[in-house]
A and B are shown apart, each in its own frame.
Chain A
Amino acid sequence: MDMTLLLQVTLNGLMLGMIYIVVALGLTLIFSIMNVINFAHGEMYMLGGLVAYYFSEQLQIPYMLILVLAMILVGVFGIVVEKFFFRPFRGELLPALIVSLGLSMTIQTLTLLNFGTEDQSVSTVFPGMINFLGALFSKERLAIVITCIVFILSLYLLIQRSKIGCAIRAIAEDREAAALQGVNIDRICSFTFGLGCALAAAAGVLIAPVFYVNPYIGGLPLLKAFIIIILGGMGSLLGAVVGGLILGTVESFGTLFLSVPASNLLGFIIIILVLLFKPSGLFGHE
């Protein structure tokens, strides 16, 4: 086997893994403090892609600005959604899950009515390739990996070092005890939900030029994000990062040796193994 090919496949796996991680981090963050499994999370990714398409193809705004705008728009949308659809069901796993399914369908259908079913492509922001130790890697993918790493590190710092991060972790552990310390639970939940949605939107914006945009693209990353957080452990941020790297690598090698559909199967095989042998995931609590 060719070393450069291996390297190339690994780098591709890394990019996919990074995108999955950014989606999964939001999902697991929301789960950890609200006990809500948000099936509409993929739609936030899709909306990010949509914003990228409109702003870059129709309005030709610089891509970095689009990234920021999409995060703000979808983040605010997330805050509104949390207030009206999830707050009444906070902590109630099943009702919240059903609400989120309905929300996912609603957002998808509304998008479909306004956008159509056609795949739309977003033109590439960083054309050209980089030769890295003999492996060819597009500058675009490299930019995606770096941006995702910046997001992941920033989130880590926010959660570990800031006061609001401390409050988020406190709520994740014990909501009542957090309230007793004076934490405004509603406000923190609303912030965290918005943040999670903004991250999903960021992933959607970043990947839009590599793939394409249509109202259904949210399904796949959502599925991958679920695989990742089951693998890494529900609610664990570190688990989401490690899980994403594992899944990205496994899938990209799977595509090399097997077909694409077969490599999609690998994620589920991983889930089955995890659930059989370590149901709490790699870094799960309890």
Chain B
Amino acid sequence: MEENKILLKTKDIRVRYNKVEAIKGVSLEVAKGSIVTLIGSNGAGKSTVLKALSGLNPIVSGEIWFLNHRIDSLLPQDIVKLGISHVPEGKRLFSRMTVLENLKMGAYIRKDKEELKKDMDEVFHYFPKLKARINQAAGTLSGGEQQMVAIGRALMAEPKLLLLDEPSLGLSPLLVLEVAKIIREINKKGVSIILVEQNAKMALQLAHFGYVLETGKVALDGIADSLLNNTHVRDAYLGG
């Protein structure tokens, strides 16, 4: 990849999680405008990588570069200002707050009121169901709707890079398809995405590029299509 097309780059990052080294030297690259997926089994370190990128789980060594900024020593609140929005595992909505308040929290760093209104409308364009629920406490929504609020909240920060952690978890097959469609739409609008998924098939079908994580290391990487046809990936992650 040429340097100026790279949005995010990690160099040999190591991360401890609960005192155990969960990430043992991972180097990734995300090209501008692309969808990159991290697949792997439970505990392979996928979520930990995302947490390192958004600053929730600081790295022990290595470097993380986002555009021209080295971000590995920044706090989460400063990283989001640079344009990385993280939809964490388990959605992590403010469940006692309304849907509207959740979306407004997503736009916490922004001051442009006019644009904000437009982006709010865009969120309702992606997720029309939410519009009827704006004054409802987020905790009272269904799992699918909560996922929509979580993605919507992240979009409200106007990210350049969206980190999605298991957006399909706990959703019905129909909803998974819908979420996949929306992820593609968001990407078409120019937002790059890192997608962490257990559902490796969906992830590889959506993504342009993929990394297979095994016990904290990159076991395999490549164009998503080629990974879909890779025998090891097929056996281990696509159910043969």
B-binding residues in A (CB < 8 A): 163, 166-167, 169-170, 173-174, 176-185, 285
B80 / chain A contacts, CB cutoff of 8 Å? 180-182
A285: B residues at CB distance < 8 A: 96
What residues on B are CB-neighbors of A183 within 8 Å?
A: 77, 105, 108
User: Looking at chain A's contact residues, is the secondary structure mostly helix, strand, loop, or mixed?
Assistant: helix
Contacts of B76 in A (CB 8 A): 176, 179-180, 182
Report yes or no: B88 in contact with A182, Cβ–Cβ below 8 A: no
Contact of B157 among A163, A167, A182, A184 (CB under 8 A): A182
Within 8 A of A (CB), among B152-210: 153, 157
Encode contact with A along B71-90: 1 for CB under 8 Å, 0 otherwise: 00001110011000110100
Cβ contacts under 8 Å, B94 to chain A:
169-170, 173-174, 177-178
Most chain A CB within 10 A, of B54, B104, B108, is at B108
Complex: how many Å from CA A174 to CA B55? 16
Bitwise, B99-113 to A at CB < 8 A (1) or not (0) is 001001110110000
Can you identify 9 A-B contacts, CB atoms within 8 angstroms? A166-B104, A169-B96, A170-B97, A170-B105, A176-B76, A180-B54, A180-B86, A181-B157, A182-B108
Instruction: Please give me the 5 A-B residue pairs with the lowest Cβ-Cβ distance, nearest first.
Output: A182-B109, A179-B76, A177-B92, A182-B80, A181-B108
A181 to B102, CA, bound (A): 10
Contacts of B86 in A (CB 8 A): 180
B56 within 8 A of A: yes
Cβ contact within 8 Å between A163 and B96: no
Q: Give bound CA distance, A184 to B105, whole Å.
A: 12
Q: Say yes or no: is B61 at the interface (Cβ < 8 Å to chain A).
A: no
Q: Which of B56, B75, B96, B106 contacts A181 (CB 8 A)?
A: B106
C-alpha spacing A177/B76, complex, angstroms = 9
Question: Please, which residues of chain A bring their CB within 8 A of the CB of B93?
Answer: 177
Are B88 and A178 closer than 8 Å at their CB atoms? no
> Looking at A167, A176, A184, which has the most chain B CB atoms within 10 Å of its CB?
A176
Chain A residues within an 8 Å CB radius of B157:
181-182
* A21 vs B56: C-alpha distance when bound (angstroms): 36
Q: For the complex, what is the distance from the CA of A173 to the CA of B93, rounded to whole Å?
A: 9
Q: How far is the CA of A198 from the CA of B240 in the complex (A)?
A: 64
Chain A residues, CB < 8 A from B230: none
In this complex, the member of A170, A174, A182, A184 whose beta carbon has the largest number of chain B beta carbons within 10 angstroms is: A182
Contacts of A184 in B (CB 8 A): 77
Q: Please determine whether A176 and B77 come into contact, CB atoms closer than 8 angstroms.
A: no
- How far, in Å, is A174 (CB) from chain B's closest CB? 5
Beyond A163-B104, A169-B96, A182-B81, 19 additional contacts (C-beta under 8 Å) are: A167-B108, A170-B97, A170-B105, A173-B95, A173-B96, A173-B97, A174-B94, A176-B76, A176-B88, A179-B75, A179-B76, A180-B56, A180-B80, A180-B88, A181-B157, A182-B76, A182-B157, A183-B105, A183-B108
Of chain A, the residue at the smallest CB distance from B154 is A180
- In the bound assembly, the distance between CA atoms of A285 and B76 in angstroms comes to 27
Assess whether B108 is in contact with A169, with CB atoms less than 8 Å apart. no
In angstroms, Cα B109 to Cα A101, docked, is 37
Interchain CB contact (< 8 A) of A166 among B55, B95, B97:
B97
A180 to B54, CA, bound (A): 7
Instruction: Given A169-B96, A177-B92, check contact A185 B104 (CB 8 Å).
Output: no
Q: Who on chain A is nearest to B78 by CB?
A: A182
Q: Which residues of chain B come closer than 8 Å to A163, judged between CB atoms?
A: 104, 108
- Distance of A262 from chain B, by nearest CB (Å): 39
Shortest C-beta distance, A179 to chain B (Å), equals 4
